[in-house]
Structure formats: structure tokens, C-alpha cells
Chains A and B, each alone.
Chain A
Amino acid sequence: MNRGSKILNSKVAGYSSLITFAVLLIAWIAGFSSRLFAVIRFESIIHEFDPWFNYRATAYMVQHGWYKFLNWFDERAWYPLGRIVGGTVYPGLMITSGGIHYVLHILNIPVHIRDICVFLAPVFSGLTSISTYLLTKELWSPGAGLFAASFIAIVPGYISRSVAGSYDNEGIAIFALQFTYFLWVRSIKTGSVFWSAGAAISYFYMVSAWGGYVFIINLIPLHVFVLLIMGRYSPRLLTSYSTFYILGLLFSMQIPFVGFQPIRTSEHMAAMGVFVLLMAVATLRHLQTVLSRNEFKKLFIVGGLLAAVVVFVAVVVLTMMGVVAPWSGRFYSLWDTGYAKIHIPIIASVSEHQPTTWFSFFFDLHILVCAFPVGLWYCVKQVNDERVFVILYAISAVYFAGVMVRLMLTLTPVVCMLAGVAFSGLLDVFLQEDSSKRLANTVNSVQEIDDQEESLERKSLYDKAGKLRHRTKHDSTHENGISSNLKSIVILAVLMILMMFAVHCTWVTSNAYSSPSIVLAFHNSQDGSRNILDDFREAYYWLSQNTADDARIMSWWDYGYQIAGMANRTTLVDNNTWNNSHIALVGKAMSSTEEKSYEIMTSLDVDYVLVIFGGVIGYSGDDINKFLWMVRIAEGEHPKDIKESDFFTDRGEFRVDAEGAPALLNCLMYKLSYYRFGELKLDYRGPSGYDRTRNAVIGNKDFELTYLEEAYTTEHWLVRIYRVKKPFEFNRPSLKAKDRLIPPTNFISRKNLKRRKGLIRNRPIVVKGKRTLK
């Protein structure tokens, strides 16, 4: 008997590990391949804006080495200020792909760094799903873990940030986030220094990869704090948190960009406060063993309150003294959604910083958004130390996702995990009778409440599954009240829902998130053929080939990274947006008249101006549509010169046609966008100068440029590049006498009546029809 069960045991264990392995492998492959739409439809190329910088930085690191990269002063950005790149980036992404590149080249696999960058995020999505599996397994059961792993592999909310070519920090950061949480939960469960040190190392990787590490360093202390409040203090908690905090603090300060922030800014103070609190509690607990009960009660209340007050006061005082920096603007905008719009237009101007709509929750998460409260409810019902963590994770992530579209990304993993819990719970109930191998994995943990019990149960997990096999006949007949028909209907419905989820994910990925955005494709409605608009690369390549190597290009900051990456030219402002006043200066140049902006441009040594104009093809993300943000940002710094109200009509409309505000119709951006557009007829019947994006005939059609000349315009007019003329290259418009700084003097000509005519000596005498004589 014993021997037989042992064989059965190992057999089941073999099956379960095979299924786990197969499911994770399939999740990895599915996740990887569904991220390849853009590569297959277009090509292996870096997408969007920020990835271009990351790619450029990685290429620099690969070419020049790690130390050169750390000390890299990029003189091609933020002209004339430059940018200290090494100290202002999270280098984790570059190190990761650079490391892969290094290893592959040691093995004589000459993969181009671009391809590594393109495929990094899809590869890491597999790692994310594995770490999600591990985390969910810790929290609930291996079955739920497998569900969660499969969900996160294809869920659009995560795919949106990790398609092939989207080479951004988030791609690897979500893996680091999940893996840190897994290690943290493990260390809470075991109380082992090993796991919490692992969590600290993983946290270090996260810090090096993404600014979102602040989420971890606030969530974990919050978890500890709530556990303390719930009276769930244990030595395990003390060990794991103190190890994690101290190591994590030291590690995180190794990143040049983070530096002393962890001990000097408000965002990190909560972690320190909780650390102090935990120490206080631990001391009290120790005292509890020494003191009598009554004494201790007093001490506990007084001491606890005192500790909290001391920590709070210390933080406030330090903040006031300026030792600890107050919350940054980006952080404020998380609490007050209206804050950014008023105080920091540059943050508000980014579309991904807008509040999330309800629609996008369903769009990005589909059925998971419905299943996830169920999973949360399960966790609340059967709460234990680590489930407190996931509850807190869920609540905070839901809040942040509601504030900013971008933070949908942090919500997605927890939604997948809890939805996995929900589905696994559902199948546990309705799949009980079925003695398939899956059950071995999704073995129910409903009865498990206590920690110790659970770990004991886990130990006898396979035994139990074996026993279950024996029991099934009895159980299904009288113990379970659910009829088999109902079971099959429910299971079918669940499978249908899951199938629809997969279809939805694929559809969303293919339609919404797989456009490289530097190559536009549209389908010809007549013959169904696909046309590609490659104007961005056309313009950038023109810049890289046919301008001087040190040419400085002025454009709105959105295109800074792309110009630096694809055209390899100096830009004035870029997506880093660290210097608001410099951006405001560019905004001012764009929204002033040609004459005034020429002064700004010459003071900034601008050689070329680049604008995006979508009027010919109806591209809505062009500079005229972004123009109001330029005006707003310029107004923030130069309120005397630029006023937003000047660019609206009397009725408060922003229009480019003949009724538009004169300030708009004569500003540089308008002129550069519409130069000679007034002559262009897009179709035979329509009027000339018809802007397809704004559906209007432009108001100011006939004008010439004095200070600039058209240098290049792409095939579909999407990118227009102008050369700024040098002062000697144009005739300055004459100044009226009263405007002149130096008044005209009373110059008296020496020519008198007699000498009025000038003479040329030895003038040849010209006689018609004869040769000229000297």
C-alpha cells in the first residue's frame, strides 16, 4: 500500500510538474508571439518616442563600454545645455540588453543590438508570467498561478507596454516588480533572510530599471504596517522587513539617478517610518516577555502612539528644514488629478498622464476586470499574511490606474493574479468530480486558513490528490449537490469566456497596440491594398544624410528622441522634459511671429526647424493640434509675451480658418505648417488649402517666409523641415524711421549740380552694330 501510493505519488508529481512546465512554456510562447504583430506587419524596428532614446543609449553603451556610458555627457541633446545621461537614466534596461548582447557576442552570435532591443520586452513577458505564476502560487494555489501566468502573458494592459519594438523600462520593470513581490511574499511566509535578501536584490534590479520602484517601496511598508495594525506581528515579519529594507536602501542608493533620494525625499519616508515602527513594536514585544501584562498594555499604547508621533513629526520637521525634499509634482498629480493641469502643463500635456476612462479598463483587461473582485473577495474571506499583501496591492493599484492611464500597467498583474484565483476557485467547485490531472495542480485550498496547516497540507499535496481519486466515486454521488449537467454548463461557459478573452486580447493587440507609430499604414478602401506612409523616417534620414553633422534642429519636444536616434542631430528639447523653461522657450519661438522667433532661434543657434503637419493626409497628432500646449507651456514662463487667450477667437474657439485669431494665423508654427499649402488642391472639386485634419480651409493662404526657407518636405507633407537663414542671407524688412535705434543723420551729398553724374574712367564707347572700342 505504502509503496503503491509512493509510485502514484511520484507519478502525479511528474504529471503536475509536466503540466506546469507545459503551461508556462505555452504562456511564454503565446505571449512572445502575440507581441510580434508589429514585427511581422512592418519590420524589426524601435517604436514610439522614448524607446528611441533607450535604444540610442544602449547602442552607445555597447559601443563605448559601461564606464563611458556612466559618464556620458550628451551634447546632442538640450542644446546648448547638454544632458548628463549617465546620471539621469535608469540604466537597468540598457544593462540588461547590453549584457545579453555581450554574452551572445562571446558565443560568436553576432546579433545586432537593435534586434535585442526590439525583442527584449516580448522575451521578458515570459519571465513576467513565470514570476506571476510563482507569486500566485505563494498566495493561493499552483492552479491559480497557472491561470494568472496565462492571463498575464496575453492581457492587453501589459502587452500595450511590451510589444516587440517597444523598448521601454516598463517592459522589464513589470517582471522585476512581480519577482520582487514573489520574493517578498516568500520571505514573509518563511521569515528567512535568504528570501528577503533575494527580494532586496530583485528590488535593486527594479530600481535600476524603472521609476515605478517607488510603488514597491511604499507598498511593502504599507503591507507591514497593516499587518502590524491587524496584530499579525511575527518574528518572520521583523526578519524579512528589516533585511529587505536595509539591503534595499543600500542597493537603491547605488543607482546614480536615485542617489540619496531614498533618505531625502518624502516618497521614501514611509518605508523608513515603518522600519522604525517595526523596531519599536519588536522592542515592545520583547518587553512583553519581560514585563507584566498590565504594565505592558500601558507601555504598548503609550509607546506605540509616541513612536508614531515621533516618526511623523520627524518627517514633517525634516521636510520643513529642507533636509527631506517634499513630494514631487508628478506625485502630487497622483492625489489631485487637477493639480498637473494648473501647475505643470508639461505633465498634463502627455496623453498617457490623463485619467483613465471606464472603457479602457474593459478594453485592457476584458473579463478579468469582472473576475478580479471575485478573487479579491476570496482573498478577503480567507485572509492570511500574504493575502493582506495582495489585497493592498489590488486596492492601491486600482486607485492609481484610475488616476493615470499609464498606471494601468501596475494594475494589470494584480488583476491577472486575482482573476486567476477567481477562475481557479470556480473550477475547483465545478471540476471536482473530474479526476483529470489538472486537479492535482488546482488542488483546492479553500479549507486552508492557517499558515502552518497550509504548508503541512502542501507537503501532503500529492497524497491528497491520490486520496481524492479514491474518494471521487463516493463524493460525486452524495456529497456534492451540484448536478453534472450544471457542472458541464458552467465549465463550458467558463471556457467560452476564456476563449473570448483570448480572442479579445489578440484583437486588441493586433489593432490597438501593434503600430510602431513611426510608420503609418492605411488600407486603401478601393482595392484593399495596404499603403505605408514612411514620412517620419524619410525626413529623419534626410536630416542625417544632408545636413551638417553639428546642425541644430528645433522641434517640439515630442520628436527630440526620434531626431537624436534616427537623424543623429542635435536637438534643443526632447522627451526627457527636465528643463521646463527651455521647452517654454521653444514653445515661445513656435507661437511668436516669424520676426520675433527669429531672434529666439538665432540666440539658440538653430539651423533647422522641424514641424509635423497632418493636414494633407488627415493625421491628427500633428503640431497644430498640439499647439495649444506649446502656448500654455510658453505662457507659464513668459506670461508677458504669450497669452493663450490671443490664440482663441472671440467666441473661445481654436480655429485655423479665416475666422481664426490673428495671433494664430501669423505665428511661426502656423506659417511653417501651412507654407504653400494654400496653393495645394487635394482634389479637383474642393477648394485649395483645405486642411483634412481640422476640416477647414486655412485662413492665411498667401504668405512668404522671410527668415526661413523650406529645406525639405516629405512625400505626404507629414514632416516639414525649414532652414533658418543666416543674417546675411535675406533682406531685412525695412524699418520705419521712428523705429530705428540710430536716427538718420543729415547727410549732405558732395555732389553738386555740376558733379551730379558719376563717371567711369575708360568707359568703352558702344556704337550699335560695331565692335566695342576700348
Chain B
Amino acid sequence: MFSITCQNYRGLKMETNWILFYVTTICLIINPITADIINKNVERNLDIASQLVKTSYKIQVEETAGKPLKEYEFIVREPNLSFISVKDGFNKKLAFEEKKENEKSQVKYKITFASSAPQQTLLIETVSTKNILPYPSEIKQNDKQLVKYVGGLYLYSNYLTQSQRINIQLSSSNIIAHTQFRPFSVMSNKMTFGPYENIAKLTDDELFVHYENQSPFLTVNTLERTIEVSHWGNIAVKEEIQMTHTGAKLKGSFSRYDFQKDGRSGQSAVKSYKTYLPASATGVYYRDTNGNISTSNMNLMRESVDLDLRPRFPLFGGWKTQYVLGYNVPSYEYLYSSDNDYILKMHLIDHIHDNMCIDEAVITIILPEGSSNIKLETPYGIKRHQNALIHTYLDTVGRPVVSFSQRNLVENHIAEFTLKYNFSKVSLLQEPLLVIAFIYIIFLLTIVFLRLDFSITSHFHKE
């Protein structure tokens, strides 16, 4: 009874759900002891050195009345939130569920602790995209790229925060301007704001930093990843990528002379980037509609295959490029089978470049002809498309195709999906038999044809 009351009481704070409100009011009458949750200490690390905003929170929560704490509400007021993970003090993952909000740039999460205790520690990590904007938005070739980050100075919380602090990691020590709200300190490319004491709940204030950020601002607009499974021992992966430099746009002319002569010219331009492929990747190709892009290097490492990809031209602000990257991996590393049941475990998306940000990814999995009972499990929510059939080499009925898509992905989303299906091993022989039969028929027809005389009359000049 008690715990229910408690929950309901917190429910009041959560939202203006009038039914809850009603219940709680009744509960309050029954149980008048006021219990309160506070954020005892909040430590926020904000990493805005790249194009992504990576925040890690360390929140110490306390129930002042000493009652065990089961649930906590966490609010994120960042647009384009791409990834969130919640752990407790023992580095154990905690379950959380998202609550719909009317306000667009605000998402609420209800976190459930693994065990109830009056004092809890939360470790939350979030990654959001497109919150660091170039300012000015257009620069000349020799200018530095300056960006502006605008976020919240305080942890926007439903609870009172006793003490909080933000550590900001920047990409350079060149800071043009920032919020002057004491106490704060600036050390080279690090800034610390706070500690701020006793911030009332739902308090917000703006934090902005205007600084130099020359790290690549590359956005993958579309990623089309095709995984083709062959039971002859090979999995072919093809990634069609379209990317744009979303940093400050290039204003005026591009001068090759300056670009070659002066190392400082065009620093924000992306000349090359690294892509890591699985260590077993072979037959790597990197091409576009005009053919092979000859400017790239491949290094075989123990853990991975490092590709040093150079687009055909350096990518300046606003410039786009498209390419296809493909490779083969042996199927024994990803495909597991028992009898006629198969399980495919592969990365849903893979690394494209460091601190990548993918607007939309479409993943297509082509299974061998004759696969059935296809079941897909993914590590996070996706938008499933309708299954289709595709006809390629030596196909008769077509191969089943599973495809799905997801928007706004970052590196943290590199995780494995699981695809279960049935496939009878006998149908593996179908294609070779088809070829054999075809060639046999050709020979047969030739033999018959050569022994027939198709002429109407007997020719005198026949040879």
C-alpha cells in the first residue's frame, strides 16, 4: 500500500494526467507524509569536439525521506536525440521507456531501477546530432570554421538539484564567446560551469559556446546497405552512401593553388576519412557511377580492415558526394545453422567514419532462394518494410528480401540484428543442376540439329 502511494505521489509530479492527479489526491489524504526525490549531485560531461553532441550524466538521486526508490524520470531537451543509454552505479544497464510528449524537442524517459534503495546513482549517455551549427554559416576557403552550440545550462529535471556541474570538451582552445554565468573556468579546450547549488525543478537557462571546430562535419544523407547471403560460404555487403559536408558552406571560389600551397587553407574540408570494415573482409571495392575511385588505401589490421577513403575531390562545406563500398565476408563468421534452421547475426549498420551521423539508413537482406519462416530481431526500433522477391543469377522463383529502415543513427547504433530462417540444404543443389541441365540440352540440340537436313531441295553446290 505504501509503495503504491508513493508511486502515485510521484505521478503527480510527472505529468498533468488528471486521472492520476485524482488518485494521488486521494492518496495524499490517506498518507500525508511528504516524501521528496532530489538530485543530490549532477555531473555532466559535454563533448562537443566533433559534429555530435555527446553528453554523459552522472546523477546521484536521493529520496529525502529515506524510502526505497524504484523509478526516476529523465527529461532530454535536445532536438535530434539519436541515442540514449542508461546504467546504474554498478554499470548495469537499466530499463527505460520513452513517454510521448507534445513538445517536439522534449523527450521524457521513465527509468526503472534494478533494485529499490533510497540512494541511487544513474549513468546516462546521450548522443544528439545537428545541434552544433556553423556560425557564420558561410566561410571562404582560407577561413576557419566557427560553430555555435546552444544547450541547457542546468539539468532540466523534475526534481530539485542540489549541486550540479558541466564539463565541456571543445575541439580547440579558440573560443570566441560563451555564456558568462559564474562560477565557470576555461582551461585551453576545456570549460567547466558550476557548481550551481539548489536549482529548483524545471529550471532552464541557456548555455552557448561559440568556438572553432575544424573536425569533419560529414552527414551521411542516405545509406543503403545490402547484405546478400549465399550458402556457398559468402556474404556480400554493399553500402551505397550519399554524404554531404554540413559544416560552414564554401563562399566564393575554390583555389587549388591555395589549397596545395597553404596547409591551413581549407582545414574544414574533408580530404579523407577512415572506414573500418570487419577483419575478414575481402574483395573490397570503392566506386561510383563513373567507375573505380582510385584514391584510397587499405590496411589490414588484426581487428579490422582499415580503409582510408579519399573522395574524388576534397569535400568543402555544402559539397556532396556519392559512392558504393562493398566487400565480402565469409559466412561462417555470421551464419549459424542447426539442421535446416539458420541464424544470421550481423551488424545492422557499420562504421563509415568517426563520429558519423546517418540521416537515413535502409538495410536490405537478401536471403538464398527457398528460405522461409523469416523472423527478424533488432537491437532497437526500426521501420520494417514489406518483404519482396528479387531475381538474380540462376533464380527461378526469386530470393526473399527483408528490408527495414531507420533515421538518425550514430556510431552507438552499431549493433547486431538477428535473422532466423529455414532453408533446406537440398535446394542448394538446384542451381548447379540447372546449369548442367542447360548445357546438356544445348549439346543434345546441337547433336540433333547437325543430323537433320533442313533443305527443301537437294543442293548441287552443297558442301
Give the interface of A toward B (CB within 8 A): 42-45, 108-110, 189-190, 455, 458-459, 519, 532, 534, 537-538, 540-542, 544-546, 566, 676-677, 679-680, 709-715, 717, 720, 723
Contact = CB atoms under 8 A, between A and B. Distances in A.
B432 interface: no
B373 interface: no
A79 B301 CA distance: 52
Nearest to A681: B261
Contacts of A709: 252-253
A711 B320 CA distance: 15
A717 B260 CA distance: 11
A537 B255 CA distance: 19
Contacts of B320: 545-546
A227 to B, nearest CB: 19
B313 A712 contact: yes
Given A110-B391, A534-B294, A709-B253, 10 more contacts: A42-B292, A43-B291, A43-B292, A189-B461, A190-B461, A534-B293, A540-B290, A711-B253, A714-B256, A717-B256
Contacts of B319: 542, 545-546
Interface in B441-463: 461, 463
A624 B389 CA distance: 55
8 contacts: A534-B293, A541-B313, A709-B252, A710-B256, A711-B253, A713-B256, A717-B256, A723-B253
Interface in B410-463: 461, 463
Contacts of A717: 256
B463 A109 contact: no
Contact of A542 (B257, B313, B392, B463): B313
Contact of B391 (A108, A534, A542): A108
Contacts of B73: none
A537 to B, nearest CB: 5
Nearest to B255: A710
Nearest to B256: A713
B30 to A, nearest CB: 60
Interface of B: 252-257, 261, 287-295, 312-313, 318-322, 391-396, 461, 463
A677 B313 CA distance: 20
Given A455-B461, A545-B320, A545-B322, A538 B254 contact: no
Contact of B394 (A108, A537, A715): A108
B395 A108 contact: yes
A538 B313 CA distance: 6
A717 B392 CA distance: 43
B254 A711 contact: yes
B461 A538 contact: no
Contact of A710 (B253, B288, B294, B322): B253
A635 to B, nearest CB: 32
Most A C-beta atoms less than 10 A away, residue of B287, B291, B322, B393: B291
Interface pairs A-B: 6 shortest CB-CB:
A713-B256, A709-B253, A108-B391, A710-B253, A45-B291, A676-B257
Given A541-B290, A542-B312, A534 B295 contact: yes
A537 B290 CA distance: 7
A541 B255 contact: no
A538 B391 CA distance: 34
A109 B438 CA distance: 15
Contacts of B395: 108
Contacts of A712: 254, 256, 313
Contacts of A45: 290-292
Most A C-beta atoms less than 10 A away, residue of B261, B289, B318, B394: B289
B255 A676 contact: yes
A534 B295 CA distance: 9
Contacts of A44: 291
Nearest to B316: A546
Contacts of B391: 108, 110
Nearest to A44: B291
Contacts of B257: 676-677, 679-680, 713
B393 A108 contact: yes
Nearest to B322: A545
A190 B253 CA distance: 72
Nearest to B257: A676
A288 to B, nearest CB: 25
Contacts of A566: 289-290
Contacts of B394: 108
Contacts of B255: 676, 710, 713
Most A C-beta atoms less than 10 A away, residue of B256, B321, B396: B256
Contacts of A723: 253
Contacts of A519: 294
Contacts of B392: 108-110
Contacts of B254: 710-713
Contacts of B261: 679-680
Contacts of B318: 546
A715 B271 CA distance: 12
Contacts of B289: 544, 566
Contacts of B312: 534, 537-538, 541-542
Nearest to B319: A546
A713 B253 CA distance: 10
Contact of A541 (B288, B294, B396, B461): B288
A595 B277 CA distance: 53
A386 to B, nearest CB: 13
A709 B291 CA distance: 29
B291 A537 contact: yes
A108 B318 CA distance: 40
Nearest to A538: B312
A109 B253 contact: no
A424 B321 CA distance: 58
A446 B277 CA distance: 69
Given A455-B461, A680-B257, A717-B256, A109 B321 contact: no
Contacts of A540: 290
A648 B295 CA distance: 41
A536 B395 CA distance: 39
Contacts of A458: 463
A541 B312 CA distance: 8
Contacts of A108: 391-396
A710 to B, nearest CB: 4
Nearest to B462: A459
B262 to A, nearest CB: 11
Nearest to A521: B294
A451 to B, nearest CB: 10
A680 B131 CA distance: 41
Contacts of A455: 461
Contacts of A42: 292
Most B C-beta atoms less than 10 A away, residue of A455, A534, A541: A541
A532 B312 CA distance: 12
A12 B253 CA distance: 77
Contact of B393 (A109, A544, A546): A109
Contact of B294 (A109, A459, A532): A532
Nearest to B291: A45
A319 B139 CA distance: 67
A7 B393 CA distance: 45
Nearest to B295: A534
Contacts of A43: 287, 291-292
Contacts of A680: 257, 261
A709 B140 CA distance: 13
A44 B290 CA distance: 10
B250 to A, nearest CB: 10
B139 to A, nearest CB: 16
A673 to B, nearest CB: 13
B294 to A, nearest CB: 5
A165 to B, nearest CB: 10
A115 B461 CA distance: 43
Contacts of B256: 676, 710, 712-715, 717, 720
Contacts of A110: 391-393
A105 to B, nearest CB: 9
